[in-house]
Amino acid sequence: PLEVDEIQGNILGGFNKDFQTFLFLEITDATNFQQWLASQLPYVATTAEVIAFNRLFKSIRHRRGHESIAVRSTWMNIAFTFQALSALEDVVPGLLDTDFKDQAFVEGLAERSHRLGDAPGSPDGWFVGGERAQPLVIVQIASDTREDLATEVNRIEDSIYAGHVADGKCLGSGARITFKQNGANLPGNLSGHEHFGFLDGISQPGIRGLLSSDPRDVLTLRQNPAKRDQPSQNGQPGTPAQGKPGQDLLWSGEFVFGYPKQNSQPNADWDGPNPIPGPIAEAGPTWAKNGSFLVFRRLRQDVGGFHAFLKTTATNNNVLNPTTGSAPALVGSRLVGRWASGAPVLREPDQDNSTLGNDDCANNNFEFGGATANIPAPPSDPFSCTDEFAPPSPGDTAGQVCPFSAHIRKVYPRDDTPLQTGGYGAVAGATPPGCPANATLNEPDTQTHRLLRRGIPYGDISASTPTSPVDDNVDRGLLFFAYQTSIERQFEFVTRCWANNPDFKEPGAGVDPIIGQVNNADGTRTRHFQTVIPDANGTPQSVALTTEKDWVLPTGGGYFFSPSLSALRMLSGQ
């Protein structure tokens, strides 16, 4: 079973708090830092704690609606770059005697930035993480209210500025704060949405063997035992075959070290009643068990520029949206694969539908390759899944409803298989270096490239909308966080082999309009993508689009390792 008391809380539980602050520390003195770290260990939140709280919170909210809820909590987690672990090696003998296998983690994000297609000059000038070989530590603090957050951030900042007393001597903390980043859930109607306007955090991989923090899942299981797995081969009984409808359950080793990973063998019975686990996820050092890699990207968003593009594209292509009247919003839905409310275009091609977007039982229930069935009408229990949104998703193998370039299809192609030979760049010589040439795209393999996303917006909301774009030049965007056990196979692969690869999943599909980045041979950053927009009669029209702009611009980040509670104790010399 998963050692939920050992695993830091944001990894599998997900902080999912409205207010978050991230402190970036540089280690200046390893011995003093060790003692500072020891003083902070009682505050580190575990997965057990976070899941228990989230379950309680959701069930109270379900009973009381959205009125203010008195239960609150504040959580802290901590993670280290490879360079920060190296800085501790002198005081923790043998720490890095066994190498970390993931080369991306060892080199760090600054060193790898060019591989991700970042603009020339990156990462110099980033707000944080731009310096190569900087021993950086991230402290993640999350709270339900601004006030609670400020109290905890002040406590931590004071402990860093003031240092601490040990053996009657006043020591420095051995660290200095190099950057402080606030993030917050957007206010009002944009709550839960990112700055372009789309609901975020809908689709996540489910974790085998982890009881979901959603009370509906627990109740659905109680009512419908058929949804339970048979005892699986490594003996984790009673896990559901699916989380919420459309959410596949993965072996936890995809996200936490020391547990079985997915079985990527083609045709492996990966989601059947007796799924066959893959090998155990190993970081290298044995003390990495119950830890996870954390990728952070500070992504500035050009909201006005993106909205202006949606509007111009709608005008240039005579796009009409007879139902909602918002042609730019219709274009946006094809670039993302969901409407602003979160409703997937595969289930609602013609117009936005906020009831569908908000319904956790329906908003992820679709596949690209095959049809998905509707969930049968439930018993009267209000927690269980209803799915009144007929018709069910019919699938879309030809990419006529959810274009192949749409963000959600690029970064997670679900059950897609190639239409033509070669899923990763069938055009000879076009396969990006390091990406499999002429690999066969199949679902068991796709499930080895998943991410547990934990992002939160930063910066003030924009007045811009797709119908009335406003360019105000404000620094706002997404603090993108993702956990995984291989940065190379998960975050970097998704970015390089899928999002930035113009020939994925079909030759000529183009790059991901949201996050795709290209450095062309002629020195430009011009991006091309093919989309499909219905005309006034609903007939899909193929449209080739081009933009010189990056609407999402990396302005900071780092590759971190989030250790187990035992490993944190070891790092602090206890």
Cα gap 348→388, rounded to integer Å: 13
Residue in 515, 545, 565, 571 binding ligand N7H, rule: CB under 6 A: 515
Contact 303, 194 (CB under 8 A): no
**Cβ-based nearer residue to ligand N7H, 257 or 480:** 480
**Cβ-based nearer residue to ligand N7H, 87 or 494:** 494
Contact 140, 15 (CB under 8 A): yes
Nearest partner of 332 among 354, 355, 313, judged by Cα: 313
Binding of residue 330 to ligand N7H (CB under 6 A): no
Which range binds ligand N7H by CB under 6 A, 6-14, 37-45, 192-200, 208-216?
192-200
Cα gap 253→251, rounded to integer Å: 6
Neighbours of 57 (CB within 10 A): 18
Cα gap 198→333, rounded to integer Å: 9
Cα gap 179→458, rounded to integer Å: 14
**Cβ-based nearer residue to ligand N7H, 258 or 459:** 459
Q: State both tokens at 187.
A: 């206010």
- Phi-psi label, residue 459: left if phi above 0, alpha if psi -120 to 50, beta otherwise: left
Task: Give me the least distance between CB of 503 and ligand N7H, in Å please.
Answer: 18
Residue in 47, 81, 292, 301 binding ligand N7H, rule: CB under 6 A: 301
In the chain, the amino acid numbered 296 is F
Angle between helices 30-40 and 146-162 (to 10 degrees): 150
**Cβ-based nearer residue to ligand N7H, 32 or 363:** 363
Residue in 172, 201, 305, 436 binding ligand N7H, rule: CB under 6 A: 201
Residue in 20, 34, 46, 203 binding ligand N7H, rule: CB under 6 A: 203
**Cβ-based nearer residue to ligand N7H, 33 or 366:** 366
Residue in 478, 479, 511, 532 binding ligand N7H, rule: CB under 6 A: 478
Compute φ and ψ for 502, nearest 5 degrees: -65, -15
What per-residue string of b and e applies to 467-502 under the rule 16 or more CB within 10 Å gives b? eebeeeebebbbbbbbbbbbbbbbbbbbbbbbbbbb
**Cβ-based nearer residue to ligand N7H, 219 or 250:** 250
Contact 481, 79 (CB under 8 A): no
In the chain, the amino acid numbered 535 is D
Which range binds ligand N7H by CB under 6 A, 223-231, 368-376, 394-402, 488-496?
488-496
Contact 132, 142 (CB under 8 A): no
Q: In the complex, which residue's CB is closest to ligand N7H?
A: 203
Residue in 44, 156, 308, 552 binding ligand N7H, rule: CB under 6 A: 552
Contact 551, 533 (CB under 8 A): no
Binding of residue 451 to ligand N7H (CB under 6 A): yes
Q: State both tokens at 355.
A: 């009831």
Which range binds ligand N7H by CB under 6 A, 152-160, 164-172, 190-198, 438-446?
190-198
**Cβ-based nearer residue to ligand N7H, 456 or 571:** 456
Binding of residue 480 to ligand N7H (CB under 6 A): yes
Task: Give me the least distance between CB of 457 and ligand N7H, in Å please.
Answer: 9
Cα gap 150→161, rounded to integer Å: 16
**Cβ-based nearer residue to ligand N7H, 478 or 568:** 478
Which range binds ligand N7H by CB under 6 A, 195-203, 228-236, 286-294, 465-473?
195-203
Task: Give me the least distance between CB of 53 and ligand N7H, in Å please.
Answer: 22
**Cβ-based nearer residue to ligand N7H, 156 or 199:** 199
Binding to ligand N7H by CB under 6 A, coded x per residue (else -) over 403-442, reads ----xx--xx------------------------------
In the chain, the amino acid numbered 424 is Y
Task: Give me the least distance between CB of 351 and ligand N7H, in Å please.
Answer: 17
Which range binds ligand N7H by CB under 6 A, 65-73, 196-204, 256-264, 284-292?
196-204
Strands 540-547 and 552-562: unpaired
Angle (CA) 323-307-455 rounded to 5° is: 105
What per-residue string of b and e applies to 173-199 under the rule 16 or more CB within 10 Å gives b? bbbeebbebbbbebeeebebbbbbbbb
Number of residues located near ligand N7H, criterion CB under 6 A: 27
Binding of residue 540 to ligand N7H (CB under 6 A): no
Binding of residue 196 to ligand N7H (CB under 6 A): yes
The binding site for ligand N7H (CB under 6 A) comprises 194, 196, 198, 200-203, 297, 299, 301, 336, 338, 407-408, 411-412, 451, 453, 477-478, 480, 491, 494-495, 514-515, 552
